[in-house]
Amino acid sequence: MDGRLAGRVAIVTGTSRGIGRAIARTFVREGAAVVGVDVLEEQGRAVCAQVVAEGGAMRFMRGDVADESDVRAVVEGVLAEHGRVDVLVNNAAVQKEARLVDVTVADFHRVVDVNLLGCLLFCRAVLPAMVERRSGVIVNMSSLNALVADPLLPVYGATKAGIIALTQNIAITYGPDGIRANAICPGDVDTELNQAFFRAHPDPAEFRRRVEREYPLRRIASPDEIARVALFLASDDASFVSGSQVVVDGALMARIYEL
């Protein structure tokens, strides 16, 4: 298949479900050899097996993005097998819903370690090989919560804002080495995580409708819609796009209020 990522090697974290799974499948369809990483091993291997059964090139490696030795092992394994990493997508994330006064130190460290430290560790691990080849693309999954506040997601929002700052730093520091880095800021996406959030309310269907009414497009995004943005940023179509955050929110932030 001659796709937009033909012949390229990509690492995608958080591939067991949701946006990460959609990105992995999209990249494979566009010709990439994808290495998926997740702590949810059974689900990750099932996704990989399905992709392979459909004729795609994907391998799964169990890894905790917040564990430095796991990250090193994944990147060393990919370099040993393929000799390079062309694309890195840092997608793995967790969230803990709580108002700031109810956030525990353990909650803080868990969210920061997975969302922000995990992103940093994988970027740090792939950059030397990318610099050596003078080529590479990093796509970091941020969030609309990096730009606007949710009362129940103070630490999550802080990590996603940190990811934007980290992405910009990579873009200006390693741009001279031929490396591009961008962040994606999705609004609500129809993932397992969001579905669980809806189910936590007394009337899940009505709560979902309430959320969707907040969007001018009157719906939330599908994982595939976010995956296509990641594909664009990873491909040569975005060859002069670097240091940017791409907001994918169905015009949610474009209005002041609705009467």
In this predicted structure, the answer to whether residue 258 has a pLDDT above a threshold of 90 is no
Neighbour-count burial of 130, counting CB atoms closer than 10 A to its CB (0-12 exposed, 13-18 middle, 19+ buried): buried
What's the rounded Cα separation, in Å, for the pair 13 and 149? 25
Share of the chain above pLDDT 90, in %: 94
Strands 58-62 and 87-90: unpaired
Q: What is the pLDDT of residue 197?
A: 83
Of the residues 156, 174, 215, 257, only one is catalytic, namely 156
If DSSP codes are grouped into helix, strand and coil, which group holds residue 247?
Answer: strand
**For residue range 161-180, what is the model confidence (pLDDT) as tens digits?**
999 999 999 999 999 999 99
Taking the domains of the chain in order of start, what are their residue ranges? Answer: 9-186+223-248, 192-220
Would you tell me how many other CB atoms lie within 10 Å of the CB of residue 99?
Answer: 10
* pLDDT at residue 2 is higher than 90: no
**Taking the CB of residue 42, how many other CB atoms lie within 10 A of it?**
9
Tell me how far CA of residue 23 lies from CA of 96, 105, 209, in angstroms: 24, 32, 26
Note if 156 is an active site residue: yes
Q: How far apart are the first and last CA of the chain?
A: 50
User: Read out DSSP for 107-151?
Assistant: HHHHHHIIIIIHHHHHHHHHHHHHHHHT-EEEEEE--GGGTS--T
pLDDT at 117 over 80: yes
pLDDT for res 193: 83
pLDDT in tens, 25-67: 999 999 999 999 999 999 999 999 999 999 999 999 999 999 9
The CATH number for 9-186+223-248, chosen from 3.40.50.720, 3.40.50.620, 2.40.50.140, 3.20.20.70, is 3.40.50.720
Share of the chain above pLDDT 70, in %: 99
At 176-227, the pLDDT tens digits run: 999 999 999 999 999 988 888 899 889 999 999 999 999 999 999 999 999 9
pLDDT at 107: 97
Tell me what pLDDT residue 149 has. 95
| Cβ neighbours of 193 (radius 10 Å) | 14
Q: What pLDDT is attached to residue 102?
A: 97
| pLDDT score at 256 | 85
User: Residue 89 is encoded by which pair of tokens?
Assistant: 């997508």
